[in-house]
Chain A
């Protein structure tokens, strides 16, 4: 396939117009020793029919959650995606556009971002949200970076190891900057060790971080930590799960200064881990410090309501090395999917989904306990818990043989997630296989 519309005759005509004899002459400013001598070692181009065959073959070598019930969660969740959303995302005015730099021909996109920002504020209870980040993990790293760079030399990030291990790995990479010192506090019985976290807070502490629910699905007791952090004039940062917020206390209610999270559950397909979106929301007084694009409402010359990228003095294209973050492109289309999702399911639907996930998890716990299995941690959870098994790898292989995508393998346990898509039959089957029947 080629997507170059000018045939050879037109190419020659254009060359003639600009006074050149060949396409090669267009590259006469590149010295011969730098040029590719032979053709690139790539396969020959393919037509659409060959591509379809090849991609279908590749896809067929995967086992998909479309066909197999999936109990994997651990940061990516198999929620239902409304049909209308999938079709609307194919409106190419959205997906083939660039960042809305020119407000006059981008009002639809700017408005959609404004709506998204509003919905994220509503979900989290926070006062300001940006237009999205790459994902939950990088959003958390940016939040910690903001806490450190805006607290006059404080460098310590006190964080529980019950936060998603990949988020911790990302934070470690971002701390290569030398501006953050990550203080990792081991959890206790699947929850954050709040007492030890509080003891670690000192005059060097920029922020303390927990995830709610945490990586193991457990609900963290955040109250005492919030108090201690704020008494120390440090920031309290929470990584939260968006669907759980229909049911669980919002980060604003917990007193968070910054709330971030993985937005994938809101209408974005699993897609092997991406593209997803990170959401980032904060207290109002942090508005001029937060990273990323922000859309604001304003008026046009006729006084008509209009939207525009605003507070750009924070950003890299204006401030260059003085910008708080280097983020440029974000995950706008995934954010659009998120606001479409929240619109299509609505508030009642979102709550129904959250309750259903929890109820299915509770049912699964009861059934597992009936066959003699035990949870690894006996603490309140939302829709995900760890169940003890002798050999997690073997348990997963057995599940797979029975047509089930099992859980995330922990030390002596499987971390299982229950979305609204799981049926009673699927859970019964899971229990039967794990229970050894």
Chain B
């Protein structure tokens, strides 16, 4: 059934053709010495166009996107991806631009960059943005680099540590490490928020800053954010905002006003651009004025009526990516913000938070919700009741949801809640969809009680059953080999 493209190989079946050669047919060996030429056979598959089209179409039928159905994957903000955005990014006047074209030939593109920087600054309360990073973790890295460059520029070389809460996304500590910081974990209190005493105790002259997600990964707003910022700033550190959860506050509260110095935003989460099965994303990095000089270069500037790239940034960390970021993604997010406007941005957030609280409320009779109070865009439930009763785990519930036609929530994260299920419905789901999903979750809770094997053996209706991940990791087969 599911043949690999290599197994569809039929010799001479590919008929791709170039136009006739209109220049003299020079012999390669006259111009490229033999020591540079390839001897190794490549062995790409030869497949006709129609068979190739069917192959990839068939692959798509064994995939599940937001357009396929409800996708409550927590911390990933799987909102609807408007189709007008796709249209815009493919306009020949945008998709056909070479990054090194003279600036006078790309004024429209530069205007998009410039306005995007301005709009993101307004939404987040920052003083400037660089749109260069290609993903959230990449934006985090650029942001943490600006913190490092800031301290170094002040000749403050003893700040070798970065604080990260125990509820943080894995990218936070990994990023701090990539930039050469030692990671100090800050504990959460019993309300799921940063433990202020622990933070105070750990803040000192060796700490470069604190990386924080707000709302945090439990979906809870850090109520004492001003106090947190004061502790870090008074200790000489800077405050980093992980924008993964910006959808839970945009239009309502701004990280810049909360006291954050640097932020990355995920255009592919908050601003409606598609996730592309794992990318491309875009992770613009924004800063307060004290960090503007350190942003990745160049940034777009406006001089009179013309737009330009400003490379004159001697303190810049340099570049984190070729050219100017994922322009095609930036275009989509630009259209998204223009479509929604100020009111729409706020309303998107309000509805996202309403949907999350509604879902939380409707699931609490059947599932344990460790921190069952007002949440922002997402919340955590777990399988404690099901596990205690019939050894039905979070993994089982997730797999059973697939049988009901849903993408499972994020599972086993955050790490500080055992058997966590993290639900983020987003604002683009109707009450009707949510109610259907709630019914499915309740049905699974009943099954876990009455017929647990149905759940522990799920999925039953997917194209495959559960996979052997252990063998996959122990004896890795990471490419196809000809038989």
Contacts and interface: CB of A to CB of B under 8 A. Distances in A.
A124 B283 CA distance: 30
B290 interface: no
B357 A274 contact: no
B471 interface: yes
Contact of A306 (B22, B341, B467): B467
A342 interface: yes
A402 interface: no
A328 B347 CA distance: 29
A394 interface: no
B100 A329 contact: no
A179 interface: yes
B427 interface: yes
Contact of B134 (A33, A48, A177, A274): A274
A115 B410 CA distance: 26
Contacts of A356: 18, 21
A11 interface: yes
Nearest to B13: A346
Interface stretch (A164-172, A196-204, A369-377): A164-172
A66 B92 contact: yes
B467 A270 contact: no
Nearest to B106: A62
B62 interface: yes
Contacts of B225: 34
Contacts of A90: 86
Given A55-B88, A134-B134, A359-B23, A4 B348 contact: yes
A55 to B, nearest CB: 4
A412 interface: no
Contact of A132 (B84, B279, B337): B279
Given A93-B64, A94-B65, A274-B328, A36 B254 contact: yes
Given A29-B223, A323-B170, A359 B21 contact: yes
Contact of A300 (B84, B140, B348, B468): B468
A245 B38 contact: yes
Interface in A310-365: 310-313, 315-323, 325-334, 336, 339-340, 342-350, 352-353, 355-356, 358-360, 362-363
Contact of A310 (B135, B331, B462, B478): B478
Interface size class of A (residues with CB under 8 A): 35 or more
A31 B253 CA distance: 9
Given A3-B427, A223-B35, A246-B42, A11 B354 contact: yes
- Tell which of A105, A122, A129, A327 has the most Cβ of chain B within 10 Å: A105
Nearest to B89: A271
B67 A92 contact: yes
A106 B99 contact: no
A34 B26 CA distance: 69
B155 interface: no
Interface in B121-140: 122-123, 134-138, 140
Contact of A166 (B96, B178, B257, B322): B322
Given A5-B429, A328-B136, A408 B100 contact: yes
Interface stretch (B53-61, B198-206, B381-389, B444-452): B53-61
A405 B324 contact: no
A45 B340 contact: yes
Contacts of B190: none
A96 B82 CA distance: 10
Contacts of A18: 357-358, 361
A432 interface: no
A107 to B, nearest CB: 4
A176 B180 contact: yes
A301 B350 contact: no
B425 to A, nearest CB: 11
- Tell which of A125, A275, A305 has the most Cβ of chain B within 10 Å: A275
B61 A299 contact: no
Contacts of A30: 221, 223, 249, 252-253
- Tell which of A111, A295, A322, A396 has the most Cβ of chain B within 10 Å: A111
Interface in B4-26: 4-6, 14, 16-19, 21-26
A66 B358 CA distance: 49
B366 interface: no
Contact of A97 (B65, B86, B94, B280): B65
A150 interface: no
A344 B459 CA distance: 35
A423 B106 CA distance: 24
B107 A129 contact: no
A186 interface: no
Given A42-B119, A51-B338, A330 B135 contact: yes
Interface in B359-407: 361-362, 374, 398-399, 402, 407
Contacts of A82: 16
B329 A275 contact: yes
A321 B44 contact: no
A247 B61 contact: no
Interface string A106-133: 1111011011011101110101110110
A334 B355 CA distance: 33
A86 B58 CA distance: 16
A181 interface: no
A280 interface: no
A358 B80 contact: no
A366 B353 CA distance: 66
A355 B28 contact: yes
A29 B317 CA distance: 37
Nearest to A297: B477
A390 interface: no
Contacts of A187: none
Given A108-B60, A345-B16, A247 B480 contact: no
B237 to A, nearest CB: 17
Contacts of A20: 357
A42 B337 contact: yes
Given A135-B134, A274-B134, A323-B170, A3 B428 contact: yes
B327 A115 contact: no
B357 A26 contact: yes
B318 interface: yes
Closest 6 CB pairs of A and B: A273-B323, A59-B93, A45-B341, A96-B65, A273-B99, A275-B280
25 contacts: A26-B350, A27-B253, A30-B221, A55-B91, A55-B94, A75-B322, A78-B98, A88-B60, A91-B56, A118-B480, A137-B319, A173-B145, A176-B145, A219-B36, A250-B38, A271-B89, A272-B99, A274-B329, A312-B473, A315-B170, A326-B174, A328-B135, A331-B276, A356-B18, A427-B23
Given A298-B468, A320-B173, 15 more contacts: A3-B348, A39-B346, A51-B339, A64-B97, A104-B402, A105-B64, A118-B479, A128-B479, A271-B94, A274-B134, A277-B280, A296-B473, A326-B140, A347-B14, A382-B32
